[in-house]
Chains A and B, each alone.
Chain A
Amino acid sequence: MEERPLARSTISRDRFSRLFSIGDRNSPESYSPCLIIGENDPELPISIAPLNLKLDNSVIPSSMEITTRSKLCYPFDRKDTWTASQGLSLPPSLIESNSGEFPSGVEFLPVTWSSLHHDSSLLKTSFQPSIIALMDAPQLSKNTGLIETALFTIRTHFPSSLIWAPGISGPDNCALLSWMGVDIFDLARSRQASSLGVLLTESGPRLPEPSTKEDCSMVSQCQMWTNSISSTRSAIRAGSLRELAELQSKSSPRSVEHLRRHDQLTLEKSGKLGMTQSSVQIGTQLRCHSFESRNDVTIRLWREEISEKYEPPMRMRDVLVLLPCSAKKPYRLSKSHSRFRKSIGNRRVHEIMVTSPLGLVPRELEDIWPAAHYDIPVTGDWDEDELSIIRQMLSRLVERVGYSSIVNHSGIETGLVGINEIDTRKGESAGSKDSLARLKDAVSYSFENESGELDFSPREEKLKSISRFKLGSDEWLDGCQIRGRPPIFTISKDGEQMAKWDPRRGRFLFSKASLKNLWSLGILRKVELIHGIEWTGDIFPNMIEDYDPSILLDDELAVIQEGELLGSARAVAPGWEWPFGPGKLAKSRHRL
């Protein structure tokens, strides 16, 4: 009987994790992340554990069967079984060789580090198995950098598949593995913990507490799993999985290593493959409460782009004013910044906020993701790492822009040499009367000997700067009129609305009229539809001929067919999920 795929729909996504509903989408019986249970495992509710595994190792190579515990495959008329063979596996360290007998399966596909390197059949990515099991995960997790690479590779080549890394998951790393792209977990480590008298909890392994009558039975271990899977699913919905993953990683040095290496890998791949998002829902927060938060690709890309790519407004490249950040975001809404701006009183100065973990935030970019959304614990002291990041970013920016002077109201020593710098704090608080007076004087002094060009529109400069930073060009704004009450602006040309600037979402909302110009200027990332198909509804995998792999979640995309611009759509999945991602990849917006 032909194997049928597991019915799965994306409910929510957070980087490499997805919350899938499993089964009939109208009344799903289960969800992933989830558990798969073996023959000797305790019974668990289907909502937590929708799959059963049976392994037959009486003959080499071993064979396996996964059976759905309910009717989870369309048309939902029976339970389904998928079979697979383990093949012969060589360990990761013998990667120069191969066994010649790779693991195999259809809807349930086992893979190994060796088969990922040598099995050419895996290159046919148009087929997305329902489940992929990385069988040598226990060995890969013990060797530097391997598990991260393997999971990243599987995740990005098989964006629709559910990934299982047998033997390495627990309630103590379920969120971390989910953040790295794993969807299915098992009870192997919990069984080991139970055998050793240890309770494997969400916060790591520990001895059961007798005073509260805890025990380490498999029933108790399963309760820990239920708690952990619930937390993970909830965090994916809330977009806060990173925080949970960071929290969990603290329970094991290996987990911290995995998170750091995963962060480094995603940063290295982010140039070609879209993984992050260009804007976020209102109310989203980026809580950077731990040291590990600084390594996330969102933070590191910001720092890299400000240092190497960001160009300040043309008329604000002379005097740089460094200001401290504020807890309130965007900063301009804080009382302290309102006082700073009053003291500065000059629209030609370029204001940059000094902060952590983003390093530097130019005033014009304070509304966009993640500058308007991050939150950090504030102690009033900088650590060496934070200072080093700020100094490096500042040094590079000052070198590139060529400011003539710096008014430093941030309170940190910049370490810059060869540039005129005025310290306006003199060891006092940023909001003190004297500091503010010195700030005012310093700004006035900096412009004393020249009148400067004052005939420019700060709002235009701001939008152009944002456009350069987010879209790579501001050309589309040439000749546009900008109206509206700050911070919301309407951008029109020849009386026709081209776009709106939505500061609460930190994004441009483009009108239909702007699309041709944006496309011809190469500003929009594209999705090309298959020749001959009719574009109705949203964009799905079976419609795609070509696409830009660097698509970010929430990007406005140009929809193209046979070289012609048909309209636009908004990406609901980042580039790594294209073109074979699960379900809808972009939501249609405009049709020309």
Chain B
Amino acid sequence: MASACGVLGDGSKPVKVHHLIKAPENTPESVSFRESWDASKPVTVYKTPENLPDGTPCTAATVILRSKGCAWWWKSGCTFCGYFNDVRDDVSAEDMFSQWEFAKKNTNQFEDCGMVKVYTSGTFFEDRENPPEWQDLVLRETAQMGLHLVVEAQAQMCTPEKISWVAERHPGCTVAIGLEAYDDRVLRFHVNKGFTTKQWHSAVQMLRDNNLRVKTYLLFKPPFMSEGDALVHTTSWLTKVAPYSDEVSVNPMNIQKNTIVDRLFRNKEYRPPWLWSLVEMILRSHEHLGDDSCRIIVHPTAGGKIRGAHNCGECDSEVVAAIERYSVSGDTEEFSHLECSCKSHWRAEIENDNSFPMPLGFGTFRRGNPTDIVRAP
């Protein structure tokens, strides 16, 4: 970080992005929200259709727990992550066991489920975040129940000892790593991720060595990036990380409360991606990767809503449904019937982003009267 001032500067030293990320955590509103919830119950438990590693369709239960959160967040944090809203440092081991019991009871011991996803807003097997005895219980119980387990981790938290410890307790389970971007500059600047692509490769190798499955998350349209750049780069990242992954889940940005992205969104400096961009990314990467490699999953969280990936408002539900269907079927035919007049609007935005120097994007409102959309900004 330079400390000098430019023509508009007032002489003050610039702060690190880290400070801007952390600031909202300590607002009275955030503190009061975190203190309002009951730590003995998970954030949510729900079931969705999924595919088992061999491609067999199944039902998956997702359990999102209230934990102490992510060790990286304690130090710094990612620009887009609002999970700090759901974590608190006084969550005890007893609470974690209680939440797990609640989830089992709520799903009747994961009845009819072939898979369970256990998400802790951090790294599942990081001992500072989650009690080891609780990790042990979840790993063993899910293995005993014959459920395929999916847990999440940060790449830098993966150590050979811990990965083999996990593999011993639940062989073949899936570890999902939020890589977000296969570009060290983006990881450092746009995402503030806390690890590098080299660390990710190292973590992937550890998982492979222990016969665990690798799921990679990518983020579509990180902050400080235009729609056009997001389409070009995420497509490229997807094709590059797929050979190292069993599954790649591309998460289109959704605006989580009190994050940097939320701040940009409120200042009209950031818009979540177009659904058309997701379709285009899938088509381009699918063509490049062919059918035989890893599975590509896209779940547009808050899809069609203004704080999630969205289009003109007319076609959103249809496009979201097609993307969801593709995530299960892997068939690009899901998109063949999609058409809407807003597609040319999206295409113009991509072309503008790719033609002129607007690193934060040209994007304007996508909904409403076309004449008003075009009116001088």
Q: Chain A interface (Cβ within 8 Å of chain B)?
A: 38-41, 53, 55, 57-58, 60-62, 64, 84, 86, 88-94, 96-101, 110, 112-113, 115-120, 122-123, 125, 133, 135-139, 141-143, 149-150, 153, 157, 166-168, 170, 172-173, 176, 186, 188-189, 191-198, 200, 204-207, 251-255
| Contact (Cβ within 8 A) A60 B185 | yes
Pairs across A and B, CB under 8 Å, 25 listed: A58-B232, A60-B229, A61-B359, A90-B224, A91-B224, A96-B15, A100-B2, A113-B8, A116-B6, A117-B8, A117-B9, A118-B14, A135-B359, A138-B361, A142-B268, A143-B268, A150-B8, A166-B358, A170-B374, A189-B374, A194-B348, A195-B348, A196-B373, A198-B374, A205-B375
Residues of B within 8 A of A64 (CB): 357
Report the minimal beta-carbon distance from A90 to chain B, rounded to whole angstroms: 6
Please indicate which of the listed interface residues A90, A149, A172 has the most CB atoms of chain B within 10 Å of its own CB.
A90
| Contact (Cβ within 8 A) B185 A98 | no
Report the minimal beta-carbon distance from A542 to chain B, rounded to whole angstroms: 22
In the complex, chain B residues 1-40 whose Cβ is within 8 Å of any chain A Cβ: 1-2, 4-9, 14-17, 19-20
| Contact (Cβ within 8 A) A90 B352 | no
Interface size (B, Cβ < 8 Å)?
58
9-residue interface stretch from B106-114, B259-267, B300-308, B316-324: B259-267
Report the minimal beta-carbon distance from B92 to chain A, rounded to whole angstroms: 36
The answer to whether the Cβ of B347 comes within 8 Å of any Cβ in the partner chain is: yes
| Contact (Cβ within 8 A) B356 A188 | yes
Report the minimal beta-carbon distance from A65 to chain B, rounded to whole angstroms: 11
Q: A60-B183, A195-B344, A254-B377 are in contact. Are A97 and B20 (CB under 8 A)?
A: yes
* 4 shortest interchain CB distances as A-B pairs: A120-B4, A38-B355, A195-B348, A196-B370
Pick from A110, A139, A141, A192: contact of B357, CB under 8 Å: A110
The answer to whether the Cβ of B333 comes within 8 Å of any Cβ in the partner chain is: no
Question: A138 vs B189: C-alpha distance in the bound complex, in angstroms?
Answer: 21
Residues of B within 8 A of A253 (CB): 375
In the complex, chain B residues 353-377 whose Cβ is within 8 Å of any chain A Cβ: 354-364, 370-371, 373-377
Pick from A94, A122, A125, A194: contact of B20, CB under 8 Å: A94
Report the minimal beta-carbon distance from A207 to chain B, rounded to whole angstroms: 7
| Contact (Cβ within 8 A) A40 B374 | no
| Contact (Cβ within 8 A) B232 A57 | yes
Report the minimal beta-carbon distance from A158 to chain B, rounded to whole angstroms: 9
| Contact (Cβ within 8 A) A153 B7 | yes
| Contact (Cβ within 8 A) B345 A62 | no
Report the minimal beta-carbon distance from B184 to chain A, rounded to whole angstroms: 10
Residues of A within 8 A of B269 (CB): 91-93, 139, 142-143
| Contact (Cβ within 8 A) B360 A200 | no
Pick from B2, B233, B359: contact of A120, CB under 8 Å: B2
Closest A residue by C-beta to B16:
A97
Residues of B within 8 A of A89 (CB): 224, 359-360
Residues of B within 8 A of A200 (CB): 374
Report the minimal beta-carbon distance from A392 to chain B, rounded to whole angstroms: 33
Q: Given A86-B357, A117-B9, A254-B377, output 16 extra A-B contacts at Cβ < 8 Å.
A: A61-B185, A91-B360, A96-B19, A97-B1, A101-B189, A112-B359, A120-B6, A123-B6, A125-B7, A168-B376, A176-B376, A189-B374, A191-B348, A192-B362, A196-B348, A198-B370
| Contact (Cβ within 8 A) B371 A93 | no
Residues of A within 8 A of B86 (CB): none
Residues of B within 8 A of A251 (CB): 375-376
The answer to whether the Cβ of B186 comes within 8 Å of any Cβ in the partner chain is: yes
In the complex, chain B residues 179-208 whose Cβ is within 8 Å of any chain A Cβ: 183, 185-186, 189
Q: A41-B355, A166-B358 are in contact. Are A207 and B371 (CB under 8 A)?
A: yes
Question: A94 vs B21: C-alpha distance in the bound complex, in angstroms?
Answer: 10
Question: A57 vs B224: C-alpha distance in the bound complex, in angstroms?
Answer: 14
Question: A185 vs B333: C-alpha distance in the bound complex, in angstroms?
Answer: 41
Question: A101 vs B357: C-alpha distance in the bound complex, in angstroms?
Answer: 16
Residues of A within 8 A of B351 (CB): 40, 191
Residues of B within 8 A of A118 (CB): 2, 4-6, 9, 14
Please indicate which of the listed interface residues A118, A125, A153 has the most CB atoms of chain B within 10 Å of its own CB.
A118
The answer to whether the Cβ of B220 comes within 8 Å of any Cβ in the partner chain is: no
| Contact (Cβ within 8 A) A136 B2 | no
Residues of A within 8 A of B352 (CB): 167, 188, 191-192
The answer to whether the Cβ of B77 comes within 8 Å of any Cβ in the partner chain is: no
